[in-house]
A and B are shown apart, each in its own frame.
Chain A
Amino acid sequence: MYIPPPRYIDFDRSSRSNALKRGWDRLIGQAIENVSDLPRVLDPLKATNNAIQDSVTWSGFPRALDSWFDVGNDPARMAAAHRAAEVVYRTVPVVVARPDRSEQLANVPFNPGQNIYLAPQRRNGVVSANDAFGLTERPQDEYLEWHTVRDPQTGAVLRIDFTSEPPEYWSFLAEQDAELAATVYSELLDEQVDTDDIIFPGDVFCPRFLVNTNEVIYLGHVRLADQRIDFPARFEAGNYNPDNTWNTKRGAVHLIQRNNTLLAEINLAANATRRFAVRPDLQAQIDRFTLTACGGFGGLNRNSDPSIGSFVNTLALDNHRVMVSNPLGLFISEVQLGGFRDPQGNSVDRDEILTTVRGDWNDEPGRARVVRFSIHPPEGAGYTLDQCTFNDHALDTGGPIARKTFIAVHGIAEPGTLQNPLPDHPIELCGADLVEHPTLRPKLFAPVNWASRLQVGVPEDSLAIDSTRAMMRVMTGGREV
């Protein structure tokens, strides 16, 4: 059976425990089934004793923010990145109607004053700005998200909660047993959370506007479920609301950044088993970003996806079928707290400031599977976290700790053998568009088939062509410069 990331710590508390276990098994089983036609994807439940386990780890602070702020070695820029990581942004899909009767969706910043909000329909049929919410995201896209708990009066930092639980798990739990989900929410946040807070009482509605050349007219709210939006949630009565206030403004119970999903991880792992033209074998000198760009899987400016991708790809090219091992999840494998200093500048024992809330640092020998932990001052200490430092950064955000928090994907790989040989592993051309390489300068490069798509005549045997030159050719319409 497929096991959920926190194992059965919640399911076992439900009166419908067995149904929950079977339901989760079906959910993941379906996801694996969907990718199983790729020749080097392994169904982890079918792994034999011959299979090996290995893990890939990355640091939990968003690489994208470090790039954006060009932090290099500059502490001030790094502090700016830490602050930016905690700016939650909210957007609302709105239906834009044109005078010619065409309609399209646009994503605009949440603004209830201008009628730009989502709201579930109440039992009496009303959609009200009193229930307004937006699609919320923390810009924390390395499969680790955190929430800084502040004193409402003083703003002092009381605690920082870190989580790597995927949204799918919580949607599943809440929709199967809302009472239990609300109870666990309450326990994790030490607050009173009701089922109504996390489950939509009615279908969710989004605004519709008529946009003329010189005016914008609000036409009322329409059902969001009828629109095709790219967000990992469902918006009908009885569905779980991942954007509920306890998972956004007032806490972090699970991942919510749109790319931080378990299904994304499974798809990424599956697609990374393919054999790409830029790296037909393990000797090709290709970095993880180029590989990711070529494979078209995952985000380029992240630590996580390119690391997972090149890890899986290495195993697949080395004659293995690969998948994430069961329980499938994203796990916190380590948090290094040696850089913590109290207001006097003294270091503190990790056990005094760390509470491991869900999961186990030694879940299996050598494999940590923690999904939630909190950092707080030692019990009875007369100070708050913002008075402390972490590796010489003020601890007024969770960023410095996220840098020293490592996330892992535990993989499982079944080697091909004489008795059980692997099917062919065809070379596939690259599937990416012109992309910006995160570290190479000049930064732009075009993976090979871009050039070939534009028919500039890249010979077949120069698959690992110099990427900048390929780009130049593309830019000059194929003429050599």
Chain B
Amino acid sequence: MAKALHHRDLRREAKQQGEPVPPIASLAIAFSAQALARLGMPTAGADPNFDRGMLQDLRTIGDPLGEDDLPSDWRFGHTDETRIDLLLVGGESSEPSLNSLFEKWCGILSSGWALVHWDFARRREDDKEFFGFNDGVSQPGIRGLRPDGTPLVNRPISSDDPRSLEFARPGQRLVWPGNFILGYQREVEGNSPGSIFEPPQSWMRNGSYLVYRRLNQNPERFREAVEGLRAYLASQGEIASHDWLSARLVGRWKDGTPVVMSPDGPNTEIGKDVFRNNNFRYAFGEQEIKVTQQDGSTRIVMATPGDPRGKLIPLMAHIRQINPRAGQSEEGAEQHPQKLMLRRGVTFGKEIEEDPEGERGLIFLAYQTSISRQFLFVQSTWANSANAPTSWGPDPIISQDGTASPKRRIRVFVPSGRPHDCPFNGRWVIPTAGEYLFLPSLTGLKELCQS
């Protein structure tokens, strides 16, 4: 982990100084429970949801089921022939080199495994997912130190500010590493660490459960739905623009600007400022914060307003529904940091203009140590629910209700300043494959290879 972060820092620095950016060449290999069983690796005591596999959880996750209780929209992963045993996640700076990396690996694995599917994922311009929003803005900060004693993640908040105990960058919640990697202290209520999350098997130390979801997106359908919402509100005498509404559904403007800091439109100065674009907690406002920047200079980060009632970021907005921060929920704010995962979304598929009929969407990858308390909780207890974390309706982007056309009632504060309930039916995120996997550490992987 420390190595990976170091590499990321090098790339970032090079980019900032205009030097050639070191290439990314990475390969991660993750295993399903079935694959580990087949390889004879002991997994007793592993996460029970991982053991059973994602198919067993689909009633909770909400993917529509057809005959034999199999997911009707999945393209692979749900039949014996297309079962996902291994997931290879490779990174390269160009498509041809990525292809050759994969060919090499498929060659190595071909003795025992067959290729089920392969998706070419890439970063779109400005890291925008297919509905047009900048993704990957918010990420928890992992507590802990690198071998050289410096913090794993940058901690710019001045240490005499009590918020430095809770946040890495302003608004970036610090979380104990056992929430993401086995073998460390985990997150419990309050800021003090919980007990060490012991790996169930020694080879699993430093590993992590990887939730893989292949989520097709239908940007046209989403656009139409937002348009429908606009027209519905207009019929009630509430005039709001398309972009105004879609920002309320996500909680950010397309460039990443949090709506709570800039209610009327995007503001790139905020959206692209890592000290500001996460600096909000909903329940109350944030006072000024003094931070030290990379070059050693200090700076005052401006205060941000609170939004306890969801006037700016509705309580059902995607980023609020799946991470209510200090705001309302049925469990209580002190439980929220435990739900955080390390999330990596990458887009797959071609641009609409290039291939109007093709598949496109988001490969959702999330690392965690408890599937039921993290991914599964967030997707089913919160995103899919009309009553949790609040009663403002299900997540307008990702909620599933077991049918091909989910019915939703969502609540937004309309321009005239009142909360208004609106229908928002339909599906624009269609899960087409998925699995729970285990990503071992390099040492764990070696042990695995030896067996």
Binding site for B on A (CB under 8 A): 52, 54-59, 63, 72-74, 282-288, 303, 306-307, 310-311, 314-315, 318, 333-334, 336, 338-339, 345-347, 349, 365-368, 391-392, 404, 406, 408, 439-441
Contact = CB atoms under 8 A, between A and B. Distances in A.
Contacts of B186: 73
A52 B285 contact: no
Nearest to A75: B48
7 contacts: A72-B188, A288-B332, A336-B385, A338-B57, A338-B60, A366-B393, A368-B387
Contact of A73 (B52, B190, B194): B194
Contact of B391 (A55, A284, A303, A310): A55
A334 B284 contact: no
Given A334-B387, A334-B388, A307 B328 contact: yes
B425 interface: no
A72 B195 contact: yes
Name the 5 nearest CB pairs between A and B, nearest first.
A338-B60, A55-B391, A334-B387, A283-B285, A347-B59
B332 A404 contact: no
Interface of A, secondary structure class, is loop
Interface of B: 48, 52, 56-61, 186, 188-192, 194-195, 197, 283-285, 305-306, 308-309, 326, 328, 330-334, 338, 370, 372-373, 380-381, 385-391, 393, 409, 411, 418-419, 421
Contacts of B191: 441
A367 B380 CA distance: 20
A56 B332 CA distance: 11
Contacts of A368: 387
Contacts of A52: 418-419
A358 to B, nearest CB: 18
Contacts, number: 120
Given A73-B370, A333-B387, A345-B52, A440 B381 contact: no
A73 B381 contact: no
A365 B409 contact: yes
Contact of B190 (A306, A336, A441): A441
Residue from B191, B326, B386, B388 with most neighbouring chain A CB atoms (10 Å): B388
Given A54-B309, A339-B372, 10 more contacts: A54-B419, A72-B188, A73-B370, A287-B283, A288-B333, A310-B328, A339-B60, A347-B59, A366-B386, A366-B409
B332 A283 contact: no
Contact of A282 (B48, B308, B326, B421): B308
Contact of B387 (A287, A310, A408): A408
Contacts of B388: 57, 334, 336, 406
A146 B421 CA distance: 33
B402 to A, nearest CB: 10
A338 B390 contact: no
Given A54-B419, A288-B332, A314-B309, A72 B387 contact: no
A66 B160 CA distance: 33
A334 B386 contact: yes
B62 to A, nearest CB: 8
A392 B308 contact: no
Contacts of A440: 190
Nearest to A303: B332
A314 B308 contact: yes
Contacts of B421: 365-366
Contacts of A315: 309
Given A72-B194, A439-B190, A283 B390 contact: no
B188 A283 contact: no
A125 to B, nearest CB: 52
B309 A406 contact: no
Contacts of B386: 334, 366
Given A345-B52, A347-B60, A283 B305 contact: yes
Contacts of A366: 386, 391, 393, 409, 411, 421
B188 A73 contact: yes
A365 B283 CA distance: 27
Contacts of B330: 57-59, 303, 406
A283 B306 contact: yes
B60 A57 contact: no
A54 B418 CA distance: 11
Contacts of B373: 73
Contacts of B195: 72-74
A346 to B, nearest CB: 8
A338 B381 CA distance: 9
B391 A287 contact: no
A314 B307 CA distance: 10
A42 to B, nearest CB: 16
A287 B333 contact: yes
Contacts of B197: 73
B317 to A, nearest CB: 16
B387 A406 contact: yes
A333 B372 CA distance: 22
Nearest to B286: A285
Nearest to A410: B391
A282 B284 contact: yes
A52 B56 CA distance: 41
Nearest to B332: A303
A347 B391 CA distance: 26
B387 A56 contact: no
B328 A311 contact: yes
Nearest to B370: A73
A345 B387 contact: no
Contacts of B194: 72-73
Residue from B331, B372, B393 with most neighbouring chain A CB atoms (10 Å): B331
Given A334-B386, A338-B380, A392-B48, A59 B331 contact: yes
Given A54-B419, A439-B189, A336 B381 contact: yes
A331 to B, nearest CB: 10
A74 B60 CA distance: 22
A338 B194 CA distance: 28
Contact of B381 (A286, A365, A404, A439): A404
B419 A284 contact: no
B411 to A, nearest CB: 8
Contacts of A311: 328
Given A73-B194, A284-B284, A366-B391, A56 B385 contact: no
A479 B406 CA distance: 62
